Amino acid sequence: MAVEAAVVVTKRAGFLTGLLLLANVSFAAVLPADRADVMYHSYDGGGVKIDGPAVLVRKSVTDDVSVSAQYYVDEISGASIDVQVLASEYAEERTQYDIGADYLLNKTILTVGYSNSEENDYEADTYSIGVSQDFFGDLSTLSLSFALGNDTIGMSTNSDFSKDKRTQSYQFSWTQVITKNLLMNFIYHVITDEGYLNNPYRRFRYLDPNSGSGVSWQTEVYPETRTSHAFAVRGRYYMPYRAAFGFEYRRFNDTWGINAYNMDLSYTHPLKENWIIDVRYRYYSQSDADFYSDLFPAVGFQNYMGRDKELSTFSTNTLGFKVSYEFDTHWSRGWLEKAAVSFAWDMLSIEYDNFRDARRTDLPAGTEPLYKLDADVIRFFISGWF
């Protein structure tokens, strides 16, 4: 989960990364279905627009081996509130490649993966491995995974700037069939980060009596380590008329002092034979980091100083809708068994409790109105099973 707003407004958050990757919770030891997905995604909010295509293909090469590949593009343009205060609009492209393989051995699935993400001033490589094992007559599934990330951070305005970041992620998941209608999932996730953890473009502001505006700006200074812990409980209850109700509660905390939680509710309802309607609501709330402030009293007030709104106190409300149409192709001699078309729309609203709109230079620093952000996220899918 990390910090919620990071996936919404920061230029390298990769907000839509992974939306094409479908949930990989296994209820029995079986390989993922052979399928292909094509998606167009769009994010528009807070002065930033992100859109682009994505393609995912999964295919079994033997009875016990399945491979996958994904290509993903983010076209980013505009300027968030941080950029509007200190710089001008920008445009850039982020591309991501993912490959993976699953190996089925009796009731065990072994998974390996590699991901590469590139933009003009940031490159990330991630290696992952996981194992999933069924127990108790396939009513219980234990999954363990580990991922190692190596990132290189640069600056488009300074070719000599280069910093490294290393991330290790550990996840434990237990999926349990409680009754014939209720499925529960428990997840514990630990992430450790080391190296350069802040954005080299971001600045914090502080009171400066020698400045004409009363404030000055300096590059943020973050700790070089961070460890976060998250625990989630998820459930899915299946109704007699083929509908389903879903829920999630998740807690998060880290060594930077951030504490957060989110609650999710969802409902899936089939219409006739081919249509499926999904509705969901999500609430997220977090406290600020120990070294965050909207306005510091002096430039050297403390060792670490940041004004990134993703580290502030805020809450998020998300209302989402999705409609899908699935149909059999009836191609008796063809390779395509069935297909689906889906359209999803999320409406996102963020209210910040201690991050102010510094664009209002007509007001004294620290008295500006609190910032709010509204955004729309749209995804259009075409899927085929073969």
pLDDT digit string (tens) for 322-356?
A: 999 998 876 545 677 889 999 999 999 999 999 99
User: How large is the average pLDDT for residues 297-310?
Assistant: 95
Per-residue model confidence (pLDDT) at position 9:
35
- Closest to 286 in 3D by CA, of 308, 262, 256: 262
Cβ proximity of 230 and 251 under 8 Å: yes
Q: How far is CA 368 from the centre of its chain?
A: 30
User: How large is the average pLDDT for residues 145-160?
Assistant: 94
H/E element, 150:
strand 140-155
Contacts of 80 by beta carbon, 8 Å cutoff, 6+ apart? 9, 10, 11, 46, 47, 48
| Alpha-carbon gap, residue 260 to 323, rounded angstroms | 30
- Closest to 104 in 3D by CA, of 63, 74, 164, 154: 63
Beta strands in 79-139 (DSSP E): 90-105, 108-119, 122-135
Listed by start position, the domains of the chain span: 4-385
User: How large is the average pLDDT for residues 52-79?
Assistant: 94
Q: Quick check: 358 pLDDT over 70?
A: yes
H/E element, 85:
helix 81-86
Q: Quick check: 245 pLDDT over 90?
A: yes
H/E element, 83:
helix 81-86
Domain boundaries 4-385, corresponding CATH code: 2.40.160
Cβ proximity of 45 and 77 under 8 Å: no
Q: For residue 381, what pLDDT band results from cuts at 50, 70 and 90?
A: very high
Cβ proximity of 20 and 70 under 8 Å: yes
Mean pLDDT of the chain: 90
Per-residue model confidence (pLDDT) at position 18:
36
Per-residue model confidence (pLDDT) at position 333:
59
Phi, psi of 311, deg, nearest 5 = -105, 5
Q: Quick check: 5 pLDDT over 80?
A: no
Q: Is 304 helix (H, G, I), strand (E, B) or coil?
A: coil
pLDDT tens readout for residues 270-284: 998 899 999 999 999
Per-residue model confidence (pLDDT) at position 26:
42
Q: Is 57 helix (H, G, I), strand (E, B) or coil?
A: strand
Tell me the whole-structure pTM to 2 decimals.
Answer: 0.89
Per-residue model confidence (pLDDT) at position 91:
87
Given its phi and psi angles, is residue 272 left (phi above 0), alpha (psi -120 to 50 degrees) or beta?
Answer: left
pLDDT tens readout for residues 168-209: 999 999 999 999 999 999 999 999 999 999 999 999 999 999
